[in-house]
Structures are given as C-alpha cells and as structure tokens.
Amino acid sequence: MKYIFVTGGVVSSLGKGVTAASIGHLLEARGLKIAMQKLDPYINIDPGTMSPYQHGEVYVTDDGAETDLDLGHYERFTDVKLSRTSNVTTGKIYHSVITKERKGEYLGQTIQVIPHITDEIKSRIKLLAEEDVDVVIVEVGGTVGDMEGMPFLEAIRQFKKDVGRDNVIYVHLTLVPFIKVSGEVKTKPTQHSVNKLREIGIIPDMLICRTERALSEEIKEKISLFCDVEKKAVINAYDASSVYEVPLVFKRQGVDNLIIELLGLMDKISLPLEDDPWAEMVNRLKSPKHSLTIAVVGKYIKLPDAYKSIIEALNHGGICNGAKIHIRWVDSESLKSSEDAEKHLSDLGGILVPGGFGYRGIEGKLEAVRYARENNIPFLGICLGLQCVVIEFANNVLGLKGANSIEVDPETPYPVIHLMEEQQDIENMGGTMRLGSYPAVLRKDTATFKAYGSGLIHERHRHRYEINPEYCEEFEKAGLIIAGTSPDNKLIEIVEIMGHPWFVATQFHPEFKSKPTASHPLFRDFVMNSLKHQGRI
C-alpha cells in the first residue's frame, strides 16, 4: 500500500482539498485504485453541529456521515466512494481514546498524545488501506504550525517509518505571493513553511506552489535549492479559471508521472487516456454558448462556501447545457414583500431555494417560492426549500392560514411539516437527523421521472422534519403532487406543481451526487428549463 499525505502552509484556503482531489483524479486516470481521507484538527466530533458561517457546507456521504466540504471535491473529481472513515477529527480521536481508557483497555497506562493519540490517528488512516486500493491519499486540514494540527503531523511523520520509506510521500501546498509594489514574487514564505515541516521531521517530496501568475524557471530553481526539493517536483498551481482545470494544470507539469516514480508504481499503471473526458469537459466549460442567471435564496449567502455543492451542481448543469451560470445571491431576509420579490427575482432563468435550519429568513424563502409558482419561473427547492414549498402552498393555495413547519412555529394550527416519531429526541443535536442515502420511488408522469429516466433512485438526506402525510390528499387535489416517496410510501421525498413549466422540490440533497462530467439529472433539467424560460434555447 502506498500513501500520499497532503499538508498546507503559509495561509489557509489555498485549495488543499482541490489539490488532493486533483492528485486522486490523475492517479485514477492512470488506472490506479485510490482511497481518500481528510484529517481535521478541530475538536468537534464532526461539522454537523457547526454554523455554516464557521465551517461552510456540511457534506453528507452515502452512509450518513456529516463531513468536511473538501470531501465533496474528492467525490466530484474522482470515483472514490467515501464513508464515515473518510473524515477524522481531533474530537473523534479523543472520544475513542477516552472511551477505551474508561473501559480499561490501556491496562493501567498513562494516556498521552504520543503514542496513544498518534496511534489512534494512524489506525484510522490504515482503515482505508483495503485490499483493492493502491494508493491512500490523506489531506491534513489546517496549516503547518497550528497547535491543534501537531498530533496529526506527528502521526504522519511516524507513518513513513511504520510502513516503509518507499511507500509514503509528502506533498506540501504553499503560497508564492506576488508583491505588486516591487513587481516581484517572494519565495520566503514557502521556505519558512518548509522549514517548519522539517523541524517536525517531515521532508516534503513535492511542493505545490499557489501563485497568481506562472512561476519562472528561475524561481522554481530557487525554491528547489532552498527547500531541498527536486526542481521537477516544484509544481506551479497558478490561479485557474475553474477548479476543474487544476488536474490538467498538474498533468501538464508531470505530477502523475512524478508520483508514480516516487512511489514505485510503474508496473501497476496504464497509459493516459487519448480522449480524456475530463479535458473535454473543461473545454466545454471554457466555451459556453449561453449565459444564465439563477437566483439562490438563502440566509448564509455572505459565505458561498455554505452552498458549495449547490454552486458546483449548478455549474455542472451549466456545463452539460453549454451555459455559463451566474448566481444571483438573494438574502432571504431581504425579501419582505411582493415588491422585494419583483425587484430581486424578475429577469432571471430560475430560482433555487436551498436547505437550511431554524426560523430566520423563512418569510423571504416563502416569498421566493410564491413568486416562482405564480410567475411560471423554473424552480428547484432542496430540503428546507421543499418544506417552504409545502408551507407556501398550504397558506396561499389551500388557504390554511398559519400553516407552518413545527421547526418554525411549534404552535401552528396546521403542522404541514412535522417531526417523525423516531426523530422526536432533539436533545442530542449531533448525528441524530435522518442522514445519508435512502431509496425513493418515483411517480411516472412527473418532471422528476423524466429527469432520472428511472423509477427507483437513491439520494442523500440531512433533515429532521418531514411532510405531514395527513395533508397530502388536499395538496394533490389542489395541484401539488407527490412525485416520489420512500418505497414503503410513508415519507414524501419529492413534490411538484402541476401545470407549472418546471417546479420540483426534494426532501433530499441532489447536489451531493453531481459531477462535472455527469451532471445530476435534476440540476441538468433545471438549467435546461431555465434556459428555455429565458428564450435561450
């Protein structure tokens, strides 16, 4: 088994996730089977209870783990199937060590960071080393030098000795800034960051240097000399027009060949593909025929990372329809009246209301739903977005004044969105929602069935509340149809508005399963109908 550890230095947000995912993509393209993992130094067990403003989106895996958004990049860039083992936090490590200590499993020892915490970290990494995997890629969150990250770095340092020196490489991502006033690029931060790594005993094999513009050969030589990394292993990750270009940028600089050589994988690989579907996708992305504006109405719009997978899924829908997508971020708290809706939501292709929690901003989302419904604007509602569709319909079409979700108004006379029995324990906030992949069966004469082209689907969930089935008959009579349910017919998964050009809302999150080379069918059709609405096709 071979291991690649990806660390980052100088500043955060350089794109370690995209870097790790791009490396994974390149290795898969050479016929290698990979596994991927993210180690996060924070103390939460998982990001499930964190505010999107703290953490960005919570990405959900098939098996229902609430994970870091970088895992979304892994699934979009590669064919890896992620699970609970794919995201490890300091909280999870300590929780398991302390649980073992209470059970007496350490036989009277004093429990310490080295070796107990580091051993636990290493054992979590080894969980990925399944028989059919060739390379395990592990991204270490945070920046070298952060206090919380130290046990993880110590563990990956020890790892090389444990599994054999030829079986591990370290890839370090740094920033090479361009100083405008002097017109120079500066290598010092990279040197410092590499020194910091060396101090703790990690010697990087490859440096990925983030820059605004291409690095000169001279600067690459300087970095190679000062950081003691071969020049061909000084890779330049200059700002690309899209993250999906990064694997191509790496490939042009021979990143795949270099890794294959460093890890001695020559006899396992296949030749690169002649017609690379990824390169073809990037070409399409860079030469759109149309431009399309979609409104996303949410309450975390100041931090678009909170809607990472939604943005990407819209882009994927754009790629396959030949359209460049522009997102108009609409703060749900700014939609207080129909005049506001007219001001912010007219003159665009489609409206998307994403997931969310709590009562803040609900009124604005209801306004957006009403506007899309009444004005025949293509609409996609996701999770809380679906719940808003139901609430709006109950109030404005069925005339059930005050109908609401009990999450928003526990005293509502018409609880159209309610709690399932098994979800009644809301004391324990972490990991207690309906999480992960569940099947749904689709009704044939619906836009959803048309999109999927099949009657049985599997999609990922992350919610506590559900549509109250008591109201379904009334809904259907008035034109809000149930387009999909759980196979036992108990839970409503999808609703649509009859007679509307395209109005679909789902209790699940389709955005988690969309890929740039294979747009999710609902996003594909949402974008297509939005283009039609604008008369572009």
Instruction: Pick between residue 356 and residue 436 the one whose CB is nearest to ligand GLN.
Output: 356
Instruction: Pick between residue 218 and residue 427 the one whose CB is nearest to ligand GLN.
Output: 427
Minimum CB distance to ligand GLN, residue 383 (Å): 3
Tell me the residue type at 292.
L
Q: Compose the 461-480 pattern: x for residues touching ligand GLN by CB under 6 A, - for all others.
A: -xxxx---------------
CB 121 within 8 A of CB 93: yes
CB 263 within 8 A of CB 164: no
463 given a catalytic annotation: no
Question: Sign of the C-alpha dihedral, residues 126, 130, 136, 140?
Answer: negative
Among positions 407, 459, 496, 525, the unique one binding ligand GLN when judged by CB under 6 A = 407
Minimum CB distance to ligand GLN, residue 505 (Å): 11
The one segment of 149-157, 167-175, 201-209, 354-362 that binds ligand GLN by CB under 6 A: 354-362
Among positions 18, 88, 384, 389, the unique one binding ligand GLN when judged by CB under 6 A = 384
The one segment of 81-89, 220-228, 352-360, 493-501 that binds ligand GLN by CB under 6 A: 352-360
Instruction: Pick between residue 170 and residue 465 the one whose CB is nearest to ligand GLN.
Output: 465
Pairing of strands 503-506, 492-497: antiparallel
User: For 444-468, what is the HEC assignment?
Assistant: CCCHHHHHHCCCEEEEEEEECEEEC
Name the phi and psi angles at 412, rounded to 5. -55, 140
Report helix, strand and coil shares of the chain as percent, to nearest 5.
40, 25, 35
Instruction: Pick between residue 387 and residue 448 the one whose CB is nearest to ligand GLN.
Output: 387
Instruction: Pick between residue 77 and residue 379 the one whose CB is nearest to ligand GLN.
Output: 379
How many other β-carbons are positioned within 10 Å of the β-carbon of residue 499?
8
Instruction: Pick between residue 227 and residue 384 the one whose CB is nearest to ligand GLN.
Output: 384
CA 146 to chain centroid, in Å, comes to 24
Tokens of 309: 């997978």
Minimum CB distance to ligand GLN, residue 209 (Å): 38
The one segment of 37-45, 122-130, 262-270, 458-466 that binds ligand GLN by CB under 6 A: 458-466
# residues contacting ligand GLN (CB under 6 A): 10
Report which residue's Cβ sits closest to ligand GLN. Answer: 355
Give the SS3 label for residue 17. Answer: helix
Q: Does 299 bind ligand GLN (CB under 6 A)?
A: no
The one segment of 113-121, 210-218, 271-279, 460-468 that binds ligand GLN by CB under 6 A: 460-468
Q: Does 357 bind ligand GLN (CB under 6 A)?
A: yes
Minimum CB distance to ligand GLN, residue 42 (Å): 21
Cα–Cα dist 256/31, whole Å? 11
25 given a catalytic annotation: no
The one segment of 136-144, 326-334, 351-359, 451-459 that binds ligand GLN by CB under 6 A: 351-359
| Residue 503, strand partner residues | 379
Tell me: cis bond preceding 151? Omega within 30 of 0 counts.
Answer: no
Q: Does 356 bind ligand GLN (CB under 6 A)?
A: yes
Minimum CB distance to ligand GLN, residue 341 (Å): 21
Q: Which of 57, 75, 139, 511 is catalytic?
A: 511
Instruction: Pick between residue 25 and residue 463 the one whose CB is nearest to ligand GLN.
Output: 463
Q: What are the Cα distances from residue 36, in Å, to 27, 32, 118, 399, 435?
A: 12, 13, 19, 51, 21
Q: What is the DSSP letter of 515?
A: B
Cα–Cα dist 20/77, whole Å? 10
CB 514 within 8 A of CB 520: yes
Instruction: Pick between residue 48 and residue 521 the one whose CB is nearest to ligand GLN.
Output: 48
172 given a catalytic annotation: no
Q: In a 10 Å sphere around its CB, with 0-12 CB exposed, 13-18 middle and 19+ buried, how is residue 523 labelled? A: buried
Which helix (H) or strand (E) segment holds residue 439: the answer is strand 434-442
Interaction site with ligand GLN (CB under 6 A): 355-357, 383-384, 407, 462-465
Catalytic residue numbers, as ranges: 383, 509, 511
